[in-house]
Structure 1
Amino acid sequence: MILITGHVILTPEHRERMIALGAEHSARSRGEAGCLAHHCHVDVENPDRLVFVEEWESADAVRAHFAVPASGAFVAEMRRLSPEPPVIRIYAAEDITAKLMG
C-alpha cells in the first residue's frame, strides 16, 4: 500500500475556495482505480492548514493519479492560492493492524 500525506496553507481571502477545491479533489480521486481512501481535513491545531491523507493500492495507481490532468490543475491552483508551496510525502506502507491488535 502507498500512503500519502500532505498539506497546504490556507489564506483568509481564499479559505473557502481552497477547502472546496480540496473536497472536490478528494471526491474525484476516490473514484480512480487503485484509490483506497482520499480525504482532506482542516487541521484542528492549525485551522489555516488543510491536510490530505490518501491510501493507494500501488505505486502504479499513484502514478496514474498524478497523470490525471485534473490532479495537476488542482496542485497548480493550490500553489497559486497558498502563501507556501503544498507539502506532499509518499510512503510505502504495510498494514500491521492485525499483528498488533490481535
Structure 2
Amino acid sequence: MIIVTGALVAEPGKFDRALAAAQAHTRASREEPGCISHDVFPDPEHPDRLFFYERWDSMDALKVHFGVTEARGFSASLTGVAKPDPAHRLSIYETTEVRPG
C-alpha cells in the first residue's frame, strides 16, 4: 500500500475556497482505480491549514492519479488561494499492513 500525506495553508480570508477545492479533489480522487481512501482534514491547531491523507493500492495507481487532468487542475485551482505548507510537504510512503497478535 502507498500512503501519501501533505498539507496546504490557505491565504488569509480564503480558507473556505481552499477547503471547497480540496473537498472536490478528494471526492473525485476516491473514484479513481486504486484509491483506497483520500481525505482532507482542517487542522484544529492551525485554522488556515488543511492536511491530506491518502491510501493507494499501488505506486502505479498513484502515478496515474498524478497524471489525471483533474488532479493537475487541483493544483492550478489553488493559485492565489493556498500554498503548500513548507513544514509538511508532500510525502509518499510504501507500507505493509501489520495486524497485532
Is the TM-score greater than 0.5? yes
> How far apart are 1:12 and its partner, in Å?
3.0
Give runs of aligned pairs for residues 17-96 of structure 1, distance below 5 A.
Answer: 17-82=17-82, 84-85=83-84, 87-96=89-98
One-letter amino acid of the structure 1 residue matched with residue 32 of structure 2: E
TM-score (norm 1): 0.88
Q: TM-score, normalization: structure 2?
A: 0.89
Mapped partners of 1:59, 1:15: distance in 2: 31
Work out whether residues 4 and 53 of structure 2, in 8 Å CA contact, stay in contact via their aligned partners in 1. yes
Unaligned runs of 5+ in 1: none
Counterpart of 1:51, as a letter, is F
Query: Identity percentage over the alignment?
Result: 36
- In 2, the alpha carbon distance for the partners of 1:95 and 1:81 equals 36
Show structure 2 runs of 5+ residues with no match.
none
Q: How many residues get paired?
A: 98
Moved over 3 A (4+): none
Question: Is this contact kept in 2: 1:3–1:90, CA < 8 A?
Answer: yes
What amino acid is the match of 1:18? A
RMSD (Å), alpha carbons: 1.3
More helix by share: 1
